[in-house]
Amino acid sequence: MIMQKNNLKRQVLLLIMSSLLLINAKVNAQQITVQNNSNQYLEKRIDSIIQQLTLEEKVAMCHAQSKFSSPGVPRLGIPEIWMSDGPHGVRGEINWDDWGYAGWTNDSITAFPALTCLAATFNPKLSKKYGINVGEEARYRKKDVLLGPGVNIYRTPLNGRNFEYMGEDPYLASKMVVPYIKGVQTNGVAACVKHYVLNNQELWRDHINVEVSDRALHEIYLPAFKAAVQEGKVWSLMSAYNQYQGQYCSHNEKLNKILKEDWKFDGALITDWGATHNTKEAALYGLDIEMGTGTDGLTMSTKNAYDYYYLANPFLELLKKGDIDESFLNDKVRRILRLMHRTSMNKNRGFGKINNQEHLDVAREIATEGIVLLKNENSFFPIKDNKNITIAVIGENATRPMTIGGGSSELKAKHEISPLDGLKARYKNATIIHAMGYESGPSVYAKVLPAKLDAEKLKNEALEVASKADIVLFFGGLNKSHLQDCEGGDRQSYGLPFAQDDLINDIIKVNTNTSVILVSGNAVEMPWHNKTKAIIQTWYLGSQAGLAIADIISGDVNPSGKLPFSFPKKLQDNAAHSFGKISYPGDSINQIYKEGILVGYRWHDTKKIKPLFAFGEGLSYTTFNISEIKVNKKIFSKNEEIKITCKVTNTGTYDGSEVVQVYIGKPKSKVKRALKELKGFQKVFINKGEAKDLEITINTNDLAFYDESISNWNLENGSYEIFVGNASNNIISNLKIKIL
């Protein structure tokens, strides 16, 4: 009788589930139908608008009318497009015709952490939050296009703009960029993914010609852009400054084919400012909106200066003469109108928000999850608030504002809490004493200003303060001035600037209980590594920087960040630098990426060059055990799901998060491969003493390599090795599978 009742219950449940699946299928089908009908209606509407536009009006839509806007067509009620620099917040208002700030009093915003920090969270859900919130601020400021995020690959630690990107791994960048885009665009604001493509250094960026194998291009440098287009459905892209195979990226025939034919990108390609060089190429090879070109008209304040742009009067003349078919112009206008209907002509978008508590909370959450604990000898951290303890906070970066500077991503934050202020707010009982220690000079773009204070005096003051303290927290690293972490130039050395290495060594001599908290967007050399008790890598953390750092140092938040790029022991251990100047920085005309696909940890693993700190590495105040690691079967075919399961147990005394990372390698491949490549990860929060089961799914097609002999992806048959761990250098289990 009981068995009959159970069978009846199962049948009822199966019937209910079948009904729900049928309803969901019908709803999904209806949604697809509605979406298709909506798209068809939009395209028909765009057709009708194009027919009403004059040739001159269409050309005008393809170039700027001011530093950050392109024109609409007033007689037809078509609005302008307004853009703003990002990606970490909405830049202060710029003048119409020059790069000076407009001096508005209502353009202060929330500064979100730099994208290196976001990547270090290994948390796509936080990326979605980031996008939604920064998108709300852009919408409130009436911006239609937010110029970000950036996904250029971290190739060298000298690149001045690495802090704006998402690290060295294309899979990580792909998984983090998609939710950011979707979040921004829920506000009716277009994300503009940049810089397409190979803009991996700032030195000579405006002209350097990059030569890279097709395989490295498709496996390393394109995947995040591809994900942005095909999964993120991004509405706009920004071109890179540099050349690729002898053509500028703004109007590159091969790159345009990949973007608009192979990937089916339906949005608008926008130049980086001043990155256009040729009218005919711009017309034929995919450029849709030209921004920022320097012309005599602009510098001489000539009337109608923007008509001097390559896609302005020169474009119009070629069209009138019949040298360029009008269909090329119509394609650009169609994409621009599509962008407008999604943004400036979208009547359903909200009003946005700015500087509210929710945005500050999200900025703080991202910052704390992205901070990486690299060393923690004898549990130096966390530091408890104790009235019997004296903490020395030393270093300019403890007080230096970091939302300003850095080039186009600088921000006008309404509030920025410094590390020193954050620690003072958290530590009510301990005694905190401070010394500047060193000075770097003001935050400036495209030039270096000398420091004004006496370096020796600053050093002596720091040593005196250190000698009086129980604990020393040295805040050093880089800043966002020229030749540091800044657009327009690369770092000139791998070591810390402003004599910080010497200062750290001298501080340790007077107080061995010293830790280093690095503020930077790049890896740095650490000759003092073995002498310090602890090392924390923070980033440019935005408005809530000081509070987030205090959260980690105090233990209010357990650190869970993982490095999104490798820290080589010395610069020559980095792949790009190991092949000499032609590989980095080039000979000022050409540059060859001789390392091919072996970027970052791929290089360190394959060449057996041990890094100082590895990709994916990051400590916690608790301990985790990853066990019961299994794969769903041993033999797979093409386009089949590999399911890796494991149990993660928090065996320590703090609640915390761990990132399980899955790498896959192909031994005895017919082509050169990295030892292993990241193909899956999952971040999980676990209370102390508890455990959770995880499942990470990888499609076998994602194990293919780009086969240059067929100009397409090729999935090799044979044996593969699955590596499971919590860092690229901490593999807990190896599993063998076959693909037939």
Which has the closest alpha carbon to 227: 145, 286, 166, 139? 166
C-alpha 90/C-alpha 99 separation (Å) is 15
Tokens standing for 372?
Answer: 């990486």
C-alpha 102/C-alpha 106 separation (Å) is 11
C-alpha 9/C-alpha 4 separation (Å) is 9
Tokens standing for 672?
Answer: 């050169």
C-alpha 646/C-alpha 626 separation (Å) is 7
C-alpha 156/C-alpha 167 separation (Å) is 10
SS3 525: coil
C-alpha 198/C-alpha 242 separation (Å) is 7
Do residues 703 and 666 make contact, with C-beta atoms less than 8 angstroms apart? Answer: yes
Measured distance between the N- and C-terminal CA atoms of the chain, rounded to whole angstroms: 49
DSSP-assigned states of every residue in 155-202: --TT-TTGGGS--S-HHHHHHHHHHHHHHHHTTT-EEEEEEETT---S
Do residues 433 and 391 make contact, with C-beta atoms less than 8 angstroms apart? Answer: yes
Which has the closest alpha carbon to 197: 177, 217, 178, 168? 217
Task: Please tell me the total number of residues recorded for the chain in this structure.
Answer: 740
C-alpha 549/C-alpha 420 separation (Å) is 10
Do residues 595 and 611 make contact, with C-beta atoms less than 8 angstroms apart? Answer: no
Strand partners for 627: 647
Token pair 């204070």 in the structure block, residue: 453
C-alpha 90/C-alpha 93 separation (Å) is 9
CA distances from 402 to 126, 412, 413 (A): 22, 10, 10
C-alpha 565/C-alpha 658 separation (Å) is 18
C-alpha 521/C-alpha 539 separation (Å) is 6
Handedness of CA 608, 611, 617, 618 (dihedral sign): positive
Which has the closest alpha carbon to 733: 648, 655, 640? 648
Which has the closest alpha carbon to 324: 601, 705, 58, 612? 58
Q: Which of 144, 272, 288, 485 is catalytic?
A: 272
Token pair 């973007």 in the structure block, residue: 259
CA angle 9, 10, 16 (to 5 degrees): 90
Indicate if 454 belongs to the active site.
no
Q: Enumerate residues 6+ apart whose C-beta is below 8 A from 132.
A: 183, 184, 186, 187
Tokens standing for 340?
Answer: 């407008």
C-alpha 401/C-alpha 421 separation (Å) is 12
Do residues 273 and 292 make contact, with C-beta atoms less than 8 angstroms apart? Answer: yes
DSSP-assigned states of every residue in 583-616: TTT-SSSEEE-TTTT--THHHHHHHT---SB-TT
Q: Kindly report the backbone phi and psi dihedral angles of residue 398, in degrees, each rounded to the nearest multiple of 5, phi listed first.
A: -75, -20
Which has the closest alpha carbon to 630: 734, 739, 738, 702? 734
Which has the closest alpha carbon to 343: 145, 98, 618? 145
Q: Kindly report the backbone phi and psi dihedral angles of residue 598, in degrees, each rounded to the nearest multiple of 5, phi listed first.
A: -85, 70
C-alpha 336/C-alpha 696 separation (Å) is 39
Q: What is the largest CA-CA distance in the chain?
A: 95
Active site residues: 272
